[in-house]
Amino acid sequence: MNSRDYRVWPGLPYPLGATWDGAGTNFAIFSSHAEKVELCLFDASGKQELARIALPEYTHEVWHGYLPDVCAGQRYGYRVYGPYDPAAGHRFNHHKLLLDPYARALSGNLQWHAALFGYELGHKEADLSFDSRDSAAFMPKCVVIDPSYTWGGQPPPVTPWHELMIYEMHVRGFTMQHPEVMESVRGTFEGLCSPAIIDYLTRLGVTAVELLPVHAFVHNHNLVEAGLRNYWGYNSLCFFSPHSDYLSQGNIDEFKTFVQLMHDAGIEVLLDVVYNHTAEGNHLGPTLSLRGIDNQSYYYLMEDDPRYYNDFTGTGNALELRHANVLRMVTDSLRYWVEEMGVDGFRFDLATTLARVNGEYSEQANFLDAVAQDPLLSTVKLIAEPWDTGEGGYQVGNFPPPWAEWNDRYRDCLRRFWRGDPGQLPELASRLSGSSDIYERRGRRPWASVNYVTTHDGFTLQDLVSYDHKHNEANLEDNRDGMDENLSWNGGVEGPTDDDAINRLRRRQRRNLLASLLISQGLPLILAGDEIGNTQHGNNNAYCQDNEVAWLDWEGLSGPDQDLLEFVRRLIQLRRDHLVFHRSRFFHGRSVPGTETRDIAWLRPDGESMTDADWQDGERRTLAFMLSGEAGHYHLTERGAPEYDDTFYVILNASDQAVECRTPSPPKDCAGWRVLVDTSLEKATRNVRRLDSDGGFRIKPRSLLLTVAVSGS
């Protein structure tokens, strides 16, 4: 069948992408500078090109046509004609097969070859030269989909922000070594649907999973040549299509089934999304999609020399979100994942890049305004990674409501404190109580601070307490990649050791960091595997380790690691049961109306209030505080009365010495304090003992005590 055998009607310029209506397919693609656009149809294998059909209509910078003979399952791509003039920002090359930016599914994998580049590799004029080889044989193909899907089961849980417990996980790495997941579906969404996985997540107590990138992405050329892969996936190829390797049967419904099962379990699904750049890289990168469709429109080019790209991300390019149609593509993608794929929110990689206006971050950026006014997107969970690599890129605290933000100041402070660094108490108090110094503006709440100790980017928790230095040799970059300063402490020996005392210390430090995280105001995030002692053997940048280095090791879950898992489960349950640990308003240390009790009281080990001199004493490494149950949660019952909670007394000792302490003056009717958590014990969540009201006790070195007031009855 050649192009003359296909009927071609004008079609519509909307919606963009390939839309099958049950009778035929409408194709629409934006390009303001193209001279002609050809639709290329391929057989089911994606290897044989069946026809090239010039899209007949051009309306409002959208090329479009309707083919009544094309149905769901059809493989396709585009060839776009126009000037090849890199110096002017144009890189059209019709010899290169291009992916539809709105493709809902891809078939096949990209195979690196010189034909993928719009210029001749090795030519003395570099990207100013022109390559006329056909790239179709080396490109994945777009697939026309049937969008129908019957959603069943429970509706989305719509968890309040302050009740979120986020669990950051990798689709592939989470199940690749799980003994209760069938080998045939490991590393896929279907694998995550296994009963063992759902049971594990629900028993752990998480209320949201945050998946590392699931958009279709590319394995970087240099990594493939080195025998490695882009494991993390921060190299987007298509913003509408799930990564094909995560689909065991190649059907996007597998993702929808995963979302539905998570919702049935009361768990929201958040996606880590990468809209700040694409896999096409800098001016020397390949021509795969946007570059060949309309380079000047889609990318943020240098004004004084549009041959080159502004790069705020360290990856070679940045999307031009000041352009209406590029902004439309991103917001269309977000809405698609919410409306059609069922997700509940997003974490935006290098979000500062999305909000740059004329090179500088602005709260009035087009992207932020577009999301804020959108009746759908403004209601889902929006979380920013509030920095990028460009000038002025660090913007922690500066995103507008309703955004939450990853708070790296929380991470660094917790690490420094438990490592034993001096002078940490003033900042520690702010981080534990919700970071009001950063976020209390414009009606933002404590959950604007996403608190974490570890994430995919850096050491795992086990490695944080086992290594002083990174060990990234497996990345084949001579250990130059990854952060040099991790604020870690190995306890005296680098890496694994048979020294019993050091191993006990490391286990205690894990409990200290996790307990601190789970009793802090704000929104806690745990890295998958930290609760079972997962290690990457000192690699703090495992982005290219699609192997046992980065996959979770489930076989070793026994002994101390099983104890740690139980510890985390109980702490998460404690947090969920007590509103005082996840208030929707900031603490201020003020008296509760109608009482003489402060909502939070900062205390010395002797039970007395901290003074200015105490806060300024850089050698202090012990801090206590009391959370008043009388502070209420500012939620009202049906009768309008505030909810009250128990009163808790917490003391953190990061010194290497035991400290003599006294409990504070007790709240009304308090007869003493029951210890709920003592991290100096291997099974620290047991009700281990009781402290007398206004009595003396000793807290052991490098440990945390969490106690609850008990009445005299």
User: Could you write out the three-class secondary structure of 103-139?
Assistant: CCCEECCCCCCHHHCCCCCCCCCHHHCCCCCCCHHHC
In a domain, 698, yes or no: yes
Cβ(13)–Cβ(59) below 8 Å: yes
Name residue, tokens 């206006």. 357
pLDDT confidence bin for 667, thresholds 50/70/90: confident
Q: State the catalytic residue, choosing from 268, 385, 463, 645.
A: 385
Q: For position 318, what pLDDT does the model report?
A: 97
pLDDT in tens, 116-160: 999 999 999 999 999 999 999 999 999 999 999 999 988 999 999
Q: State the catalytic residue, choosing from 272, 320, 349, 646.
A: 349
500-510 average pLDDT score = 98
pTM: 0.96
In a domain, 235, yes or no: no
Q: For position 595, what pLDDT does the model report?
A: 58
The reply to whether 61 belongs to the active site is: no
Helices (H), 537-611: 560-577
Of 144, 173, 203, the residue that ends a domain is 144
Residue 40 has pLDDT above 50, yes or no: yes
Q: What is the CATH number of the domain that holds 98?
A: 2.60.40.10
β-pairing, 345-348 vs 268-273, is parallel
Q: What is the CATH number of the domain that holds 706?
A: 2.60.40.1180
The reply to whether 500 belongs to the active site is: no
DSSP 216-247: EE---HHHHHTT----S--SEEEEEEE-GGG-
In a domain, 538, yes or no: no
138 vs 504: CA distance, rounded Å: 53
Residue 641 has pLDDT above 70, yes or no: no
Cβ(558)–Cβ(551) below 8 Å: no
In a domain, 644, yes or no: yes
Q: Which segment of 299-308, 502-511, 574-583, 633-642 scores lowest on mean pLDDT?
A: 633-642
441-445 average pLDDT score = 95
Of 144, 164, 193, the residue that ends a domain is 144
In a domain, 518, yes or no: no
Q: For position 636, what pLDDT does the model report?
A: 44
In a domain, 80, yes or no: yes
Q: How many folded domains does the chain comprise?
A: 2
In a domain, 117, yes or no: yes
In a domain, 122, yes or no: yes
295 vs 275: CA distance, rounded Å: 16
Of 88, 123, 144, the residue that ends a domain is 144
- Identify each DSSP E strand in 530-621 by its residue range: 600-603
Report the helix count and the strand count for the chain, using DSSP H and E: 16, 31
For residue 693, what are the domain limits? 589-711
pLDDT in tens, 565-621: 999 999 999 999 999 999 989 998 766 555 567 889 999 999 999 999 999 999 999
552 vs 554: CA distance, rounded Å: 6
pLDDT confidence bin for 647, thresholds 50/70/90: very high
Nearest-5° angle of CA 387, CA 332, CA 256? Answer: 95
Q: Which segment of 49-63, 227-241, 265-279, 689-703 scores lowest on mean pLDDT?
A: 689-703
291-309 average pLDDT score = 98
- CB burial readout 192-208, b (16+ within 10 A) else e: bbbeebbebbeebbbbb
Q: For position 478, what pLDDT does the model report?
A: 97
The SS3 call for residue 517 is helix
Q: Which segment of 6-20, 38-52, 72-86, 550-564 scores lowest on mean pLDDT?
A: 550-564
627 vs 676: CA distance, rounded Å: 15
- Identify each DSSP E strand in 498-554 by its residue range: 523-527
Helix (H) or strand (E) run with residue 81 in it: strand 75-81
Q: For position 713, what pLDDT does the model report?
A: 56
Cβ(655)–Cβ(682) below 8 Å: no
CA 359 to centroid of chain Cα atoms: 24
**Phi, psi (degrees; rounded to nearest 5) at 70:** -110, 130
683-701 average pLDDT score = 79
Q: For position 589, what pLDDT does the model report?
A: 79
Q: Which residues contact 515 (CB under 8 A, 6 or more apart)?
A: 571, 677, 679, 684, 704, 706
